[in-house]
Amino acid sequence: MNITGGYDIPLAGKPEEDVDVRQAPDVLHLPLWTRRFVFTEVEVEHGQEVEAGQPLARATEAHDVPLLAPMDGTVDLEAAEEHVTLREVGERRTEPIPPETVRERMPERLKPAPREIGTLMELGAWQYLAEGLTGEVPDPIEVPRAVVVSTLNSEPFSARGDVQLSSHMDAFRRGLERIQDQIEYAPIYVAVPETESELGAGLRKYLRGRAWVHGVTVPSRYPGGDLELLSQELVGGSPSDGPIWGLMTAGVLAIERTLNERVPCDTSLTTIGGPAAENPRHILAPIGYPLELLVGDAVESEQVRVICGGVMTGPELHDIQQGLHAGCTGLTLLEEHEGRELLSWVRPGADRNSYSNCFLSSLWGEVEESLTTALRGEKRPCVSCNYCSEVCPVDIRPQQIHKYIYSDALEEVEAARVDLCIGCGLCSYVCPSKIELRSQMLDAQEQVRRELHPEEEAE
């Protein structure tokens, strides 16, 4: 598969491949939101005793996706704002949840869902699925026209697929087979990074022996494994043509666990990384695990900024968030850089990277750079360097769209295919003028939908 653009981002603070498995703490704080869901309908009461796998709340605007209790415990709705806190926490559930229990808890609108889709929803696996072209939550009633699976997550400081596959390759294969059971005759594409490794070779060998799944080699540079990018390249069309299921490695493993073992998805693999992280590492912890036990005082520190996710696309940690949610693939710690560097403009940059190769480090190759929240350079108008177009993986011209936006030329913005933008952030990263191109592209997508296609918004 030939994906143009992209860029390797060598940043200091990457963890090793080992996974630190955390046991249940005394208390769990489950946020009533993630990056994709807002759980508006709380189904439990203060002081109520709940069992592992029981729905605590539902996202009514996202097909009633449930927030599940990862373990037995007593509900505390007063301990933390916008959280469901569990006290007197018990053990993880290892016994299968009976099918009749799953069906009893299922909302009525989900009961007509085909095959075992309702089980995926009620046991927590559905939260790992995204509509490939939009990132939205797929409707469980609709059968997909294709499934796109990515084993590559190259965004710095987010949980990588190879870390999960290293000890769960057999479960990943079983998960692919269970997906195939659910989708009738839709094709399945599995993206594998081009780098040579024992894991990659084993996965490619497995894929070659299965006629119902298509192995696709993708560049290991960021954002080669992005689901929206892969869906555009491998399937194409528009959301109106039918849904595309998009899953990362964690999603395949979640489907295998819910359908084969019939136990809820109750843990999250999260990367603690970044230049300000004292001990970068991968952590497998129960959902709701207290953040103070993961990143210590960094949550409240004025010298450290905590990003929920990878450094390129993750938002700043919610200021009231106290526990880990399932949508957080990483906690990135960056130093808040205050003040100006003396004579920074004359520094040779022996310890810095630049897409334009303007630093001394370009003479001996890339270095692992200690990124801070400071901007490299000054904000200024677009200089038409074309770097943003060179790294863009979907072949649009961000600098041209930027100029259309400032001219209020919305029709030209749409004609320039702003809808193809996947929000990877590379355009902002390489821009020497420090223009926030990523946010401009995403805001323009929304504006085009709202003002030029109001009928689609109404649907």
Region 16-30: mean pLDDT is: 90
* pTM for this predicted structure: 0.90
Burial class of residue 192, CB neighbours in 10 A (0-12, 13-18, 19+): buried
Reply yes or no on whether the pLDDT at 310 is more than 70: yes
C-alpha pair distances (Å), 171 with each of 78, 258, 410: 39, 11, 47
| pLDDT given for residue 110 in this prediction | 82
Distance CA 344, CA 348 (A): 9
Helix, coil or strand: residue 161: helix
For 58-96, the pLDDT digits (tens) are 999 999 999 999 999 999 999 999 999 999 998 888 899
- Name the pLDDT band for 335 (thresholds 50, 70, 90): confident
Q: What is the mean pLDDT of the chain?
A: 88
| pLDDT given for residue 359 in this prediction | 64
| pLDDT given for residue 49 in this prediction | 96
Region 37-53: mean pLDDT is: 95
| pLDDT given for residue 434 in this prediction | 85
**Percent of the chain whose pLDDT exceeds 90:** 58
- Name the pLDDT band for 367 (thresholds 50, 70, 90): low
For 180-223, the pLDDT digits (tens) are 999 878 999 999 998 877 788 888 888 988 889 999 999 989 99
Distance CA 311, CA 48 (A): 39
Reply yes or no on whether the pLDDT at 54 is more than 90: yes
Distance CA 245, CA 144 (A): 6
| pLDDT given for residue 58 in this prediction | 96
C-beta of residue 389 within 8 angstroms of C-beta of residue 7: no
Strands 281-286 and 19-21: parallel
Most confidently predicted of 36-40, 309-313, 363-367: 36-40
Distance CA 41, CA 265 (A): 20
| pLDDT given for residue 149 in this prediction | 97
Count the neighbouring beta carbons within 10 Å of the beta carbon of residue 1. Answer: 13
Reply yes or no on whether the pLDDT at 238 is more than 70: yes
Distance CA 72, CA 288 (A): 13
Task: Pick the range with the lowest mean pLDDT from 133-147, 182-196, 287-301.
Answer: 287-301
Bond preceding residue 223 cis, omega within 30 of 0: yes
Mind giving me the DSSP string for 321-374?
--B--TT--EEEEEE---S--TTGGG---TT---TT--SGGGGT----B--BSS
Reply yes or no on whether the pLDDT at 378 is more than 70: no
What is the helix (H) or strand (E) element at residue 403, kind and residue range?
A: helix 398-406
| pLDDT given for residue 321 in this prediction | 93
Reply yes or no on whether the pLDDT at 287 is more than 60: yes
Region 288-316: mean pLDDT is: 87
| DSSP code for 163 | H
Helix, coil or strand: residue 67: strand
Task: Pick the range with the lowest mean pLDDT from 25-34, 87-96, 370-379.
Answer: 370-379
Burial class of residue 340, CB neighbours in 10 A (0-12, 13-18, 19+): exposed
C-alpha pair distances (Å), 232 with each of 99, 147, 228, 305, 435: 37, 12, 6, 33, 26
Distance CA 388, CA 385 (A): 8
C-beta of residue 7 within 8 angstroms of C-beta of residue 391: yes
| pLDDT given for residue 164 in this prediction | 85
| pLDDT given for residue 111 in this prediction | 82
Reply yes or no on whether the pLDDT at 386 is more than 90: yes
C-beta of residue 128 within 8 angstroms of C-beta of residue 247: yes
Contacts of 99 (CB under 8 A, 6+ apart): 119, 262
> How many residues are there in the chain?
459
| pLDDT given for residue 342 in this prediction | 53
**Percent of the chain whose pLDDT exceeds 70:** 90
Distance CA 206, CA 200 (A): 10
Q: 353 is written with which tokens? A: 């990277």
Helix, coil or strand: residue 283: strand
Region 423-437: mean pLDDT is: 91
Q: 70 is written with which tokens? A: 């990862």
| pLDDT given for residue 186 in this prediction | 93
Reply yes or no on whether the pLDDT at 146 is more than 70: yes
Angle, helices 169-182/198-208, rounded to nearest 10 degrees = 30
Per the rule left: phi > 0, alpha: psi between -120 and 50, beta: everything else, 9 is beta
Q: Which residue has the higher pLDDT, 349 or 329?
A: 329
Contacts of 151 (CB under 8 A, 6+ apart): 161, 162, 165, 190, 191, 192, 193, 203, 225, 248, 249
Reply yes or no on whether the pLDDT at 297 is more than 80: no
- Name the pLDDT band for 360 (thresholds 50, 70, 90): low
Rounded to 5 degrees, φ, ψ at 331 are -120, 110
For 395-412, the pLDDT digits (tens) are 999 999 999 999 999 999
Helix, coil or strand: residue 396: coil
Most confidently predicted of 109-118, 162-171, 193-202, 246-255: 246-255
| pLDDT given for residue 347 in this prediction | 59
| pLDDT given for residue 438 in this prediction | 95
